[in-house]
Structure 1
Amino acid sequence: MDTSPKLSRHRPAAQADSHERPGEVDERLFVGSVEKGMRVLELFNEHPSALSIGDIAQHTGMGRSAAQRFVYTLHRLGYLGKDGASKKYLPSLKLLGLVRGIHRHHPQRELAVPLLEKLARETRETVSWVELDGNEVVVLLNIPGAHVTAINLPVGSRFPALTSSSGQVLLSQAPQAQLAKMLDALSPEVRARFGTRSRSEVLSIFRKAAQDGHSFTEKNFGDDGVSVSVPVTDLSGRPIAALNVSTVRSRYDIAQVRELILPRLELAAREASA
């Protein structure tokens, strides 16, 4: 299936500018071959096992010869490794250099690592640094919990922003019109996570998160999951990330999380804020 961006063919070239709206692509600047190469790399987020050329062609919607060329190039550049026995491909360690570059350009996130580690030691629960990426939130730092039943949130995990506690604090200052548009765009499966709440009731969740400075969610990771998030801000007070603690209700219900975990989480977020 082709997942490439849909090109806008109705906008005259003379009107193109550097401030494209989401979903629009300037065909004069867009390099389709780069998009296809990235599609190959992104495929490994969905498929943790090694993939053959045929697998990659099938899952990306490319022809086999095109897939082979992109895989060969990425392998030669060192971004894909090849298993000598199966002849299948996996992401290589060179990709970690790109991740390191992301963190180096965000010193506030990098400086927060000791705070997350301390919070994880104190709570013995999973602690994460989460940022907003479009309509989703993505986990960029994670300290796993010490319990066998700890919530597993690997770095790179993505979740719908509206239904996650992290997304709710990160979007708490967003205009109501933006939130309503995002709500209308949710798939029925994701929208069902709000239960029978009306549109106004859902939107009130974000107003409450803005007033409280935190947000709770339940059942995001199964019926036993409890999640609480607070914002990390920049010098202007704008939320740039969320600190999240994820636990299970068999250890903490909402009242216990509010009493025992939230104060520590709020302290860590204040220390992480600029």
Structure 2
Amino acid sequence: MNLALAAAGTSVRAAAAFSPRWGAAVAMPLFGHVAKPRPVHADDEATLLRARPSAVRIAGIDRRGVDVDTFAWGDGPRTVVLSHGWNGRASQFSVLVRDLVAEGYRVLSFDAPAHGGSGGRRTYLVDWLDVFAALQERHGGFDAMVGHSFGGLATLVGVAGGIDAARVVTIAAPADADLLLSQFQGMLGYSDAVAASMRERFATRYFPGEPDPLAWLSGVRRPLPGGVPLLVVHDHGDRIVPFAEAGRVVAANPGAQLLATKGLGHNRILTEDAVLDAVLDHVRTPLVDVERVEAERVEVAELGAVAA
């Protein structure tokens, strides 16, 4: 544990000694805080420099407005959106960007608030959703969305909530926001009483009037709309997001495919050839007309009943 995290945990626990609500009040601002942005890796610089940069303005977690850096590559008629995770940035997708552009796709990505070159110091999942909506307003429906880690959860929540995406891929993604709150509790070492107060404060602060925001921020309790093909990629040895999260997402989304890897961890999985090939195959796969298939199934059943 680093010194800053240890000090934060000490502060929360000291406040909690007087009241769980006090402890939650100290912990809450820390929950959305993002560490200093990671630099662009040398292997990713050339791809990032070839992007067409732009920006969108969203409300931000504090609803005061924040500018978000966006990037576009290629000019194909089909659009794929790539969504990075917590403490990540768009440049992490450089290998996948090159592969998708070579396949004729237009690729969009972004640095979420407090990440990469974007403004702000705090953020949460609602910001990802606002960026998705802004990109959709500008570019229309998405042929596919690919999300890594926290960005994978945001993608599941976004599409379940109405973002128009024909296909979805999650890579090393948690199944719901409750896991993140539990991990935060583990890092700072505060009590279950403080955790309960944190959940209450979180709901009141960011989702006023929403009876159960953690149900809303879940890829399990709010699965994707029927007919949206889903590929779930996860490594058995992921130390950031447990592999069991993949099983939860797959179980909640009938027909989802699972690609389980070994030895790639949480981040290296983004550049593995087998993973890239699977993502490309999933994005290229023709969509099934679910309504037509269901209508044909009913028609066959009715004919069988008449014949009987």
Normalising by structure 2, we get a TM-score of 0.27
Say which structure, 1 or 2, has more relative contact order (CA 8 Å, 6+ apart): 2
Normalising by structure 1, we get a TM-score of 0.29
